[in-house]
Structure 1
Amino acid sequence: MSTMQNQRLEGLSEKIFLDRYAWKDADTNNAKVGDVVLVLTKDDPKFPTKEVGEIVKREGRKVTVKTRKGELVESDVEKLTLTIEKTPEEMWDRLAAAMSSVEATPELQEEWRGKFREILDDWKLVPGGRIAAGAGASDELTLFNCYVIPSPKDSRGGIMETLS
């Protein structure tokens, strides 16, 4: 129930959305020509680099991806990040469905799905990153974000005191 047009993210915004928040397809064997993916362009253990692009060719386990910058990158399919969601609206639909799923009846679920979806539209409410990435996507992802606590005294006892 989107109340606005699909937002086209560009540049770094699109890369961050696809990498951090969009629901992923863990089976990159599903990648096909025309799919928008993140392709690993620098396989560095400390500072890897990914770029957004579209698969333009696939032969077995090898793909050719045309990046948003127009470069052609050849890659193994295993080094792709394949997303199910491509737009914020798709993420908002998933989040609204997940948040409303705890309601007791289908009618209440639908009512609250609509309310949540409306407040998510146009980034009026931005859930924390773990919530945006995990709600409705997988039972294996945590929905906990970081919590700020007072700085403990520099000792084991001080740490335990702060946590209690």
Structure 2
Amino acid sequence: MTHQQESKVVVRRADRPGDFGWMVMANGETYAEQFGWDTEYEALVARIVADFATSRDPAREAGWVAEVDGQRAGCVILVATTDPDVARLRILLVTPEARGCGLGTRLVQECLDFARAAGYRHVTLWTNDILTSARRIYEAAGFTLIDEERHHSFGSDLVGQNWVLDLGSWGCPGPQSR
């Protein structure tokens, strides 16, 4: 992939054959390569994506894929929770070769715009503290860290973090991906 000025960058709905499989594969391969995570993580992503693909409510849940020059380079999904006022941001990923183009921010913005339009009041997410780039995106979007807990998952000792965003208190429209 080339520099942002020379590349065609598109953020679109995850609605094409291969999108869901790519989400699982890209998450599994990227985090194995970058952090040594085992297939337990890929299995978690597969469950999240399968649940989304088979039972999503299109009025309340959506997914997006970022492409650079026609190649998938990032993804995210927004899912409902048991609380009708709360959505959950899941599986944000930008491939290593596409990082630095603002794709992660654009994907998160799509989620937040959709969440507002769908009537959610809060968006939550769970991440790990070693995912520093993602955490910076969440902080810039207005998410607040609410708790942390050490855990052993994906073959690694990690610190899991729960974040929340009150959609009523974040008034900046942010960058548009259209």
Q: TM-score over 0.5 for the alignment?
A: no
Larger strand share, 1 or 2: 2
- Output the TM-score relative to the length of structure 1: 0.29
